[in-house]
Every structure is written in C-alpha cells, then in structure tokens.
Amino acid sequence: MFSSDQITVIIPAFNPGKFLEEAIDSIETQSVHPGRVLIIDDGSAPPIRLSEKHRSFPIEIVRQSNAGQAKARNVGVSIATTPLIAFLDADDLWHPFKLEWQLTALQQYPDTTCVGCRSVLVDASGKCIGSGPGSFTGGLTILSYPDFAQGAADAVLVPSMVVMKRQTIIDIPAFNPAFQPIEDIVFFDGFFKAGGNAVMIDQPLLKRRMHGNNLTFRYADMLRGYLKWITERVEPCGNSDLTETLRSRAYLVTGLSALSARQTCAARSLLRRSWNQQRNPKTLFAFFFACLGSWAADLFRRIKHSWSGQQGETRLMKVAPPDRAPGES
C-alpha cells in the first residue's frame, strides 16, 4: 500500500507569477502531504524565487534553459525517485482531499497505473466559471481509451489531475515537445496504447485556471496540435468513425476558444468546419452566437460562466474526505 510520502509532485513553471505560490499553497492544504515537490524552472526571467513560508514538505527548484513544458516534465520525472508521481501545472490548484482520495483509489485498485479526477474551471482570480467533463457521481469509474480520445479536446484527462506510478511513466513515450501545445494529449494517448489503465475519481479535485496566457486562448496552436495528433496517432489505427468525430471536436473546441478570444470571424470559420465534419447541436448554437458578433458572445459567456460557476461551486462543496472505500460506477 502506498503512502503520501511516496509521492513526488512535479511542477513545470515559466514566469508563473503569483500563481505558483497559490499552487504550492494548495499542496500545503492537502489532508496528506507528498514526500517532495520539484519545481522545474523553465527559463523564467527573473529565476523563480519562493517566499519564506513554512512548508510541510521539501521543495527543490531545478533550473533549465527555456525548452517548453514537455521537456520540463520529463526532467522532473528523471529526477524523481519515489514510486508515485503527481503533476501540477503552476497555475492550477488542488482540492484539499485530492491526494488522499487518490491514495484511497490506489488501495482499492492496486493494479491501476493512473488515478485521475474531475475538475472545475476558475478564472485568473480563482473564481469558479464552470466544470470540466464528467458525471460527478462521487465514485470511481474506469476511463477507457475511446472515452479518453473523445474527451481529449475537452480536457477529460490532463497532468494536473493525475497520480501515476513512476515506472509506468518511464516505460511509455515521454512528453513530446514536437506536439506542443497538446503534448499532454499525445502523452496519455501513448499511455493507453502501451496498455495503461486509468481510474477516475468522479469528483472535482482540481481547479483548472483559465486565463489569457494559457492554452485555452491559443486556438490556432491548439488546432494544429489536435490535427497533428489525429492524423499521426489516431487515423493510422483505422477507426474512421472516431477520426471523423475527433476532427469535428477539434474544430468545435478551437472555434469556442476563438469565440472566447473575441475572434468571431475565425470562430465562424472553425465552427462551420466542425458542422461540415459532423452535425452537432452545440456547434449550431455556438455558430449562431458567433454570427451575432462579439457583444453577443460576451453576453453568452457571462451568463454561462455565472450559471456554470455556481454549479461548479456546489460540486466543490460536496466533496468529502474518503472515509470509506468508494465503489466503482
């Protein structure tokens, strides 16, 4: 049985600002603490310096020339020596019961190699603006490769969600910078194709921060990455229906990101391509708002963030410690 001190947390960081201290604070508030935290400073200017706050775990900062998040994570994995590794992006936040729940899941499913969770979305200030994919039943569920692939563009599985066995990470292809900015998707794609299995805790144990500097607003880079993954990793497997669905999802998600970035012309073009690839009511609805212009998109986004944010906050409040072994759903 694993214990929390057998976990190394790897945080890749490039000019993280105040978000990094907040991320570390979320580790400090865990009901069980990891054995070590590795911060891979990916060429920040000035170099990362932490406050003098007392921490319940050792923190080591490893500096490297700017090489991207993929290589930073790979460096962290190469340095870590514990049997378990948890990833945390420098702008994300963990729920206080995250690690405890994941250790409980590993106790119930000792053969699993990856334990993930669900997420809520927060803005730069930390205010909840929505929820990620998932049913939020509170139990455990198995995540299959088809489920992962179809939900990849919606961030059904991202590094900040997971605790993984270190040997599993070593045995599969590393994070590949050639697929930036969606190297996370390619990493988990390789994980599943190498026989990896994932158990998901169907509770929101991660706050994913959405802000102007991250992937959400880099829709053109996102689209190139998604299409490269689909063409080089999914399509050769011969599942034409899945390939068609994923292409449609790629255009839809990047169209919504363009709409969020107030690029309505680009949003209309991307959403039209999504509709032509595969008919979807959500695509048609988004295209309607894109045609109305940026003011309508802003109004829709405010309404959606308000409603979804309240729902996300309610889900966060329902998270309880794992005082009993959860059942598989």
In this predicted model, what pLDDT tens digit does every residue of 235-260 receive, in sequence order? 999 889 999 999 999 999 999 888 87
Specify if 327 maps to a domain: no
d(CA 80, CA 82) in angstroms, rounded, equals 6
- Percent of the chain clearing pLDDT 90 (strictly above): 77
SS3 content of the chain, % helix, strand, coil (to 5): 50, 20, 35
Check whether residue 94 and residue 179 sit in a common domain. yes
- Choose the final residue of a domain: 161, 185, 213: 213
Check whether residue 145 and residue 231 sit in a common domain. no
What domain range is 275 assigned to? 218-310
DSSP one-letter code for 211: -
Check whether residue 232 and residue 123 sit in a common domain. no
Check whether residue 136 and residue 237 sit in a common domain. no
Specify if 238 maps to a domain: yes
Check whether residue 172 and residue 195 sit in a common domain. yes
* Per-residue pLDDT at 328 exceeds 70: no
Check whether residue 231 and residue 111 sit in a common domain. no
Check whether residue 181 and residue 52 sit in a common domain. yes
Tokens for 141?
């569920």
pLDDT band at 212 (very low <50, low <70, confident <90, very high): low
Is 0.75 topped by the overall pTM?
A: yes
Q: How many domains does the chain have?
A: 2
The CATH number that applies at residue 111 is 3.90.550.10
Nearest to 184 by CA among 225, 218, 227, 135: 225
Check whether residue 201 and residue 266 sit in a common domain. no
Check whether residue 244 and residue 189 sit in a common domain. no
pLDDT band at 305 (very low <50, low <70, confident <90, very high): confident
d(CA 99, CA 5) in angstroms, rounded, equals 11
Q: Is the peptide bond before 181 cis (omega within 30 degrees of 0)?
A: yes
Check whether residue 14 and residue 66 sit in a common domain. yes
The residue to which tokens 């709409």 are assigned = 259
32 CB-side CA count, 13 A: 19
Check whether residue 163 and residue 27 sit in a common domain. yes
252 CB-side CA count, 13 A: 24
A 10 A CB-CB count for 240 gives: 9
pLDDT tens digits, 29-80: 999 999 999 999 999 999 999 999 999 999 999 999 999 999 999 999 999 9
To the nearest 10 degrees (0 to 180), the angle between helices 264-277 and 294-317 is 70
- Choose the final residue of a domain: 151, 182, 213: 213
pLDDT of residue 286: 84
Strand locations in 124-276 (E): 128-131, 140-143, 163-165, 198-209
pLDDT of residue 217: 55
Specify if 326 maps to a domain: no
* Per-residue pLDDT at 27 exceeds 80: yes
Mean pLDDT of 167-179: 96
Check whether residue 242 and residue 110 sit in a common domain. no
